[in-house]
Amino acid sequence: MAKYLGIILGTIFLLGGIFLVWQWQSEVLFILKGSLPWLFILAGAIALYAGVAELIDTIKFEKEDKKS
């Protein structure tokens, strides 16, 4: 029963969301225009952090490999 309830509610929310996006196109675009630069900044910061962490791990691994 819970599986079917999730599917039914998911379908209702999906269709309701599509309808509301269609009705409020200008407001949705306004919000997206304001939030996309912040999302890009956040994604760039995360990618930079992950890249630096991987580089540090590689340097540590190479130092340990030279000791052995």
Q: What residues does each domain of the chain span? A: 25-68
pLDDT digits (tens, 9 = 90+) for 41-57: 999 999 999 999 999 99
- Per-residue model confidence as pLDDT tens digits over 20-32: 999 999 999 999 8
Task: Return the axis-axis angle of helices 25-67 and 2-23, rounded to nearest 10°.
Answer: 120
DSSP sequence for 6-64:
HHHHHHHHHHHHHHHHHHTHHHHHHHHHHHHHHHHHHHHHHHHHHHHHHHHHHHHHHHH
Can you give the pLDDT at residue 68? 65
Its pTM stands at: 0.61
